[in-house]
Amino acid sequence: MNIIVTGCSRGVGLEICRVLLEQGNTVYGIARSCPEDFKVLQAEYEGKLFFKSVDLADSENVRQNVFKDYCGNKVKIDGFVNNAAVAYDDIVTNLNLNRLKAMYEVNVFTPMMMTKNVIRNMILHHTKGAIIHISSISVHTGYKGLAMYASSKGAVEAFSKDTAREWGPMGIRSNVVVPGFMATAMSSTLTEEQRSKIYARTSLKAATSIRSVAETVVFLLSEKAESITGQNIHVDNGTI
């Protein structure tokens, strides 16, 4: 399968690329930077892992940057993983509109424009493809300081549900993976005390495994998940 993965340069996105490659897929990665860890994976899976530096804050030019200059109509896209995101953390009374809009560009508007173009490619090639959005447990449980970030993920969850309904008749599936807190760059600013509090809210009392999230994404992309669509799949160590 040919799969587009955004936010491939580190964290969850890099792990999703690794699992996809282990299972014989071809991956079209997108991020701004291409760090050493990604290059090592590229060397290991020569010809199967591509990279293009795209700033996903530029939703207006996604068609040109991704679907004309990178994954053109000749590439039959089987799956799209909307993983890249940024977190704007603050309490609601400090809300800054410009920062909110900047986050929505990356977390909501660009993923929607990507989905539009991915579905057009799937229609062109008669592909029964799959779309996976990465959300966050903060949508479902609530955390102080994450209202703005969680709202962007909630928008994506609604978008996925309705995409599934709209394009199901063409065999195109759309699902959401909802991870709990993971130890990545995104959560690196949290103190030990904050982490302990977050982990105390999980059944397994630990950080969610990045590998477990990536394995779930790849399962949902595969034919094994052919009857799963319009769902939110929680991979969150049982967060309450």
Ligand X SMILES: NC(=O)c1ccc[n+]([C@@H]2O[C@H](COP(=O)([O-])OP(=O)(O)OC[C@H]3O[C@@H](n4cnc5c(N)ncnc54)[C@H](OP(=O)(O)O)[C@@H]3O)[C@@H](O)[C@H]2O)c1
Residues marked active site are found at 149
- At closest approach, how far in Å is the CB of 131 from ligand X? 14
CA distances from residue 233 to 84, 115, 216, 229 in whole angstroms, order as listed: 18, 19, 8, 10
Can residue 187 be called a binding residue for ligand X (CB under 6 A)? yes
Contact (Cβ atoms closer than 8 angstroms) between residue 77 and residue 115: no
Neighbours of 161 (CB within 10 A): 17
Nearest residue to 79 (alpha-carbon basis) of 217, 179, 216:
217
| Spatial separation of the C-alpha atoms in residues 28 and 69, rounded to whole Å | 12
Binding window for ligand X (CB under 6 A); candidates: 61-69, 78-86, 92-100, 162-170: 78-86
Strand 232-235, strand 173-179: pairing: parallel
Binding string, residues 106-125; x marks residues near ligand X by CB under 6 A: x-------------------
Number of residues that bind ligand X (CB under 6 A): 29
Binding window for ligand X (CB under 6 A); candidates: 68-76, 121-129, 133-141, 225-233: 133-141
**Residue burial 200-238, b: 16+ Cβ < 10 Å; e: rest:** ebbeeeebbbbebbbbbbbbbbbeebeeebebebbbbbe
Q: Which parts of 163-182 interact with ligand X (CB under 6 A)? A: 179, 181-182
Can residue 31 be called a binding residue for ligand X (CB under 6 A)? yes
Binding window for ligand X (CB under 6 A); candidates: 1-9, 42-50, 60-68, 227-235: 1-9
Q: Which residue is nearest to ligand X (CB)?
A: 11
Joined tokens for residue 193:
């005390």
Instruction: Please identify which residue in 32, 126, 197, 224 interacts with ligand X, judged by CB under 6 A.
Output: 32
Can you tell me whether residue 31 is helix, strand or coil? strand
Give whichever of 127 and 152 is closer to ligand X, judged by the CB atom. Answer: 152
Instruction: Please identify which residue in 57, 100, 112, 170 interacts with ligand X, judged by CB under 6 A.
Output: 57
Beta strands in 41-113 (DSSP E): 49-53, 79-82
Binding site for ligand X (CB under 6 A): 7-13, 31-33, 54-57, 83-86, 106, 134, 136-137, 179, 181-182, 184-187
